[in-house]
Amino acid sequence: MNPALTFFAGLLLLVLFGWYFATDSGLRKHLLALFLAAMLVAFSIATIWPPEKKIALGLDIKGGTSFLIKLQQLDKDKPITPGLLDQAVEVIRKRVDYFGGGEPIISPVGQDRILVQIPGLDTAKIQEARGQLSRVAKLEFRLVYPDNGERLGAIDKGTDVVPPEYKIENYKHAADENENATTERLLVKKKADLGGDRVSESHAFYGNEGWTVQLKFDGEGAKKFGQITEQYKGHRFAIVLDGIIQSAPVIRDAIYGGDAVITGHFGEKEARGLASVLENPLQTPVSIEEERSVSPTLGADSIRASILAGLVGLAITLVCVALYYRIPGLIACLALLVNIVLLIGALTMFHFVLTLPGIAGIILTIGLAVDASVLVYERLREELALGKSLRVAIEAAYGKAFSSIFDANVTTLITAVILFWRATGPIKGFAISLTLGILASLFTALIVGRNIFEALVDNSRLKKVSMLHLISAQNIDFLGKGFLACMCSLALIIAGATSFYVRGEKNFGVDFRGGDLITLSSPQAIDVGQVRTALAPINLADASIQESNQAGKNYITVRTPLHTSDQVEKQIMTVMPQAQFKVEGAERVGALVGGELARSSLIALGLGILGILIFVTLRFELSFAVGAIVALLHDVLITVGVFSLLHRELTLTMVGAVLTIAGYSINDTIVVYDRIREGLASGRKGSIEQIMNESINQTLSRTILTCTVTLIPILCLFFFGGAVLRDFSLAIIIGVVVGTYSSIFIASPIVLWWTRARGGGKTTLQREIISKQTKPATAS
């Protein structure tokens, strides 16, 4: 879409949003909401269409370009060490981010090579990637002989010689206004006075001299740079990149700020690329040994099965919601479809690459969107039971449900934003889809769904609503069973932890601990589905299998656990003799999850938990925050523990599943907490335990319905999505069930026990809850 058109459309939407919130309820408000929704849907469809060209798919879904990079050994006495290989992997990972890599595969192969697979590159991007990946980016700052060129002149006349620590280099100046480029000879030091390893940040910007690259040194580098510029004021300093002088400015004054700039004849692309490689320099030269196009890592067979399963699951979800809530259910289904269109449109507009963890984020947002409707409609049922008119009941239902929807979504949003800020790889992909999904869910639930509902009532098109009520009000003593539930959970956690400890490395799949990579060629076209079927008897049907074509030959690469390549070769050769496979190579590959990626992800998760703790404390009270964090950790630990007990492996796709579980857990817990907070703040009679039990029972129907609706598409994925996605869907199924259980039996009892442990009672907790009832304005 044209950038100018996009800008004006965005400006119009902003004006409409302001007008909508400034307008009182009535026909104008409904029309504005309808126009806003129609504009956003139209804008999203225009952004998406045609989907096969506009929606960027990741390596696991669509495939991409594969580069095999070899580290070059310059000195026979200095072999390529594991440390150098690991450094090169992390540097290349950061350089690939420059392309918006959409969760690439980057893995060590053998002792001196790296496999890099990047999705969605066109011909121009492939050429640029080739340069970015192989560039060493050795940056050096070298002093020019401090005599304003007099000695160089004497050398040229033959009256002097080149000092042993200096050498003569050519410096090519940028072209002037007449496009005349000049070359200057400089006498510069052979050894660098300051190296590029001291650069901590690098950015490209457009300045008075065109595109410029700005550098920022670390503490030691800044100190040394300041000392050099102090000592050699008035003399020149050559900035050398990969042996070529980029600029040789005169030092005007001492520079102690730790900043430097490189000017030269750069275009925008070159300047940005240079900034990227300078921030991530390689310690050893590399060369690209092989380049080829590769098929999706999930395999076309698995993708077809998962798409069919997902669509069936979504259809069943819509039908169930419509049958249970009838007319309001149809409104919820319409809002959900609008939500999905807006979400995919936003992802496409921001050039997000859709991968499996991203799809996990979308699944979670669909669950959150349905949950918002369920919260409102269960409140509507209660208000109608009190004898209120339909219009008044709708107003009250949305007003009372708003705090639950707001707190649950904002808590999840805080986590998503922190994950996006600090994490990399698949976790960042999950965070983007979840963030955009939450915003879309809030819009469709609180604006689209509400205004359609109110408009139907105001126009007398809807005078009465009836809804199924399969889960009647209960009076279960949940808190009384809290201790028993905690003991059962503790036993399961201990059993899972014991299994995890005993199994050790066997808990982790190829993505985490490396494995074997076998490459087979065939003169015929290869059916990946048949290969997967052939591997099923040796329990490797879920292996990563990619096909490619090069110089008329068809190839498949199979990534499996360590020491299984011989078994894979024998099995495929035996079952598929007609394919005439030939082994092209078999070697060990390193983990896809490197140390830097693991560290950044753990830091992001830790900060996310801290964000939850702070927000829930501010909105509720510290005991609620502690309960929410314990419940979240409980759900993740039990899911991982059950996987270990079932002898399943943790893979990179499991990262998306675990994050989905964490998001669902915190959302479910906050909804229950909101009802408890409402009960305590209302001044209801009874002990704190009685009030909390009543509140949990009031949310029981919503809890069961949300759990069921969320599980429907995941169960379809588990049964019909194929072997590759079975573990992924199983993890989410376990997590959703455990998350539903923990929000009632773990999080709530902890609030009660924490309050009692501090010596507080009902009055103390009520006072603290009421003091924080600065309720956000309800959206209407």
User: The tokens 């020149």 sit on which residue?
Assistant: 236
Q: Is the pLDDT score of 780 beyond 70?
A: no
Per the structure block, which two tokens stand in for 604? 């992001």
Residue 159: count other Cβ atoms within 10 Å of its Cβ: 9
Q: Is the pLDDT score of 664 beyond 90?
A: no
Q: State the first-to-last Cα distance of the chain, in angstroms, to the nearest integer.
A: 31
Give pTM, 2 decimals: 0.72
Q: Tell me the three state secondary structure of residue 281.
A: coil
Compute CA distances 44 → 54, 314, 346, 348, 681, whole Å: 11, 20, 7, 8, 42
User: The tokens 């996006």 sit on which residue?
Assistant: 420
- 17-26 pLDDT per residue, tens: 788 778 876 7
Pairing relationship of beta strands 544-550 and 139-143 according to DSSP bridges: unpaired
Task: Bin 182: left if φ > 0, else alpha if -120 < ψ < 50, else beta.
Answer: beta
DSSP letter string, 66-115: EEEEEE----TTS---HHHHHHHHHHHHHHHHTTT-SS-EEEEETTTEEE
- Residue 266: which pLDDT band, with cuts at 50, 70 and 90? low
Q: Tell me the three state secondary structure of residue 718.
A: helix
Residue 501: count other Cβ atoms within 10 Å of its Cβ: 10
- 683-741 pLDDT per residue, tens: 777 788 888 898 899 888 888 888 888 888 888 888 887 776 788 888 889 989 999 99
What does the pLDDT average to over 96-103?
61
- Residue 775: which pLDDT band, with cuts at 50, 70 and 90? very low
pLDDT at residue number 716: 84
What CA–CA distance (Å, rounded) separates 237 from 248? 5
Q: Is the pLDDT score of 195 beyond 90?
A: no
What CA–CA distance (Å, rounded) separates 138 from 278? 8
Task: Bin 285: left if φ > 0, else alpha if -120 < ψ < 50, else beta.
Answer: beta
CB 253 within 8 A of CB 233: yes
What CA–CA distance (Å, rounded) separates 634 from 690? 25
What is the residue-averaged pLDDT of the chain?
82
User: The tokens 């455990």 sit on which residue?
Assistant: 738
Q: Is the pLDDT score of 12 beyond 70?
A: yes
Compute CA distances 575 → 527, 578, 581, whole Å: 13, 9, 11
Pairing relationship of beta strands 105-109 and 139-143 according to DSSP bridges: unpaired
Q: Is the pLDDT score of 357 beyond 80?
A: no
- 104-119 pLDDT per residue, tens: 778 888 788 888 888 8
Q: Tell me the three state secondary structure of residue 497.
A: helix
Give the Cα-Cα-Cα angle 545, 133, 268 (nearest 5 degrees). Answer: 125
Paired residues of 292 in beta bridges? 66
What does the pLDDT average to over 199-222?
82
Q: Is the pLDDT score of 774 beyond 60?
A: no
Q: What is the DSSP letter of 158?
A: T
pLDDT at residue number 489: 94
| Distant-in-sequence, close-in-space partners of 307: CB < 8 Å, separation ≥ 6 | none
Q: What is the DSSP letter of 779?
A: P
| Distant-in-sequence, close-in-space partners of 76: CB < 8 Å, separation ≥ 6 | none
Compute the radius of gyration of the chain from its Cα atoms.
31
What CA–CA distance (Å, rounded) separates 225 from 199? 11
In the sheet that 113-119 helps form, which strands lie side by side, from edge to edge? Answer: 286-294, 64-71, 113-119, 105-109, 582-589, 515-522, 553-560, 544-550
What CA–CA distance (Å, rounded) separates 739 from 635? 6
Sequence-ordered alpha helix ranges (H) in 699-746: 700-720, 726-745
Q: Is the pLDDT score of 490 beyond 80?
A: yes
CB 328 within 8 A of CB 453: yes
User: The tokens 């595109």 sit on which residue?
Assistant: 211
Residue 327 amino acid letter: I
What does the pLDDT average to over 456-466?
85
What does the pLDDT average to over 588-614?
75
Q: For 211, list phi and psi in degrees, rounded to 5.
A: -70, 130
The b-or-e profile of 278-301 (16+ CB within 10 A means b, else e) is bbbbbebebeeeebbbbbbbbbbb
What CA–CA distance (Å, rounded) separates 23 from 447? 13
What does the pLDDT average to over 172-181?
63
